[in-house]
Amino acid sequence: METADTTELSQHDFAALAPETIISAVESLGLNCDARVFALNSYENRVYQIGIEDQPPLIGKFYRPNRWTDEQIIEEHDFTTELAELDIPVVAPLRFDGRSLLHYRQYRFALYPRKGGRTPELDNREHLLWLGRYLGRIHAVGATRRFQYRPGVDLQSYVIRPVDFLLTHGFIPEYLRDVYQGLINALMPRLEQHLSSVSYQPIRLHGDCHPGNILWHDSGPNFVDFDDSRMGPAVQDLWMLLSGEEDDRRHQLDVLLDGYFQFHEFNLAETKLIETLRCMRIVHYSGWLAQRWTDPAFPATFTWFNTPHYWEQQILQLREQLAQVQED
């Protein structure tokens, strides 16, 4: 197995990752590629389906530089491996000579078994119950110890740093800057108040548990992509599965919790954090897009971002969130 190159990977080299390099990286592990490499729908990292001779294809994830440290990536891998060893349906990385985080030249990558599936039906009671049961099991394990290296769901990383980046790098149009900053100034004390007023025990989470990170098949779900795994409130992994009108979301949450309570306790007071967490995610998402804008894949894909219309819609959305958190 090839050892890590100490030369730091540049964003340009990461964006230009070539099939030949991917194949060489996988073959450095003693595997034989059949030269079929297909890019999958991922932007934060580079993810590929890689054909292996006489074996099912594997999924290769090549990590974006300067986002997570090796320790943080390994901690996420260890969490998913811990879950998989308890027969919880998560897709954990494969290990080679005991290592899940692999290196080839300046690249860091991991290999996963390929799992197929479709998006779960969130209007299907049985699907929701099933998801609730497995999230309860994931959180029961997540509550047994803390992450040592990975961050938490907090205002610093979800709001303060993204807003600072947006403002200092000129993403928000001049005619909207004062309005945007005023909304953030009005939101911050409310968000701080809500986060401090609900007493919860932070646990290890999936962190980004939206329907696109769940692959549904006839035997149930597979939870994938724990790349955003953090310490935080349990409700962080529940609220992104809710959609529709308020009554619809309330019903969906009730069904999820019916399954969840079969395996783990849930502090119902955490439901008061849903609109706070939604607001934090809105701001964080804009900041994430802005921070990745020099990656050619982002302007080509997210053509609607960083337009006057986008920022006007963000203003309206943040006003709605301000009204929501003021009511709670």
The domains located in the chain, with CATH, are 11-113 (3.30.200.70), 125-327 (1.10.510.10)
Per-residue pLDDT of the chain (328 residues; tens, 9 = 90+): 444 444 567 776 787 789 999 999 999 999 999 999 999 988 899 999 999 999 999 999 999 999 999 999 999 999 999 999 999 999 999 999 999 999 999 999 999 999 988 999 999 999 999 999 999 999 999 999 999 999 999 999 999 999 999 999 999 999 999 999 999 999 999 999 999 999 999 999 999 999 999 999 988 899 999 999 999 999 999 999 999 999 999 999 999 999 999 999 999 999 999 999 999 999 999 999 999 999 988 999 999 999 999 999 999 999 999 999 987 7
pLDDT value for 183:
97
Catalytic residue positions, numbered: 208, 225
pTM of the full structure: 0.93
**Residues whose CB is less than 8 angstroms from the CB of residue 22 and which lie 6 or more positions away in sequence, other chains included:** 37, 48, 50, 60, 62
List of long-range contacts for 74-80, beta carbons under 8 Å, 24+ apart: 74/100, 74/101, 75/147, 75/148, 75/149, 75/150, 76/150, 76/226, 76/227, 76/229, 77/101, 77/110, 79/142, 79/147, 79/204, 79/226, 79/229, 80/226
pLDDT value for 7:
53
pLDDT value for 305:
97
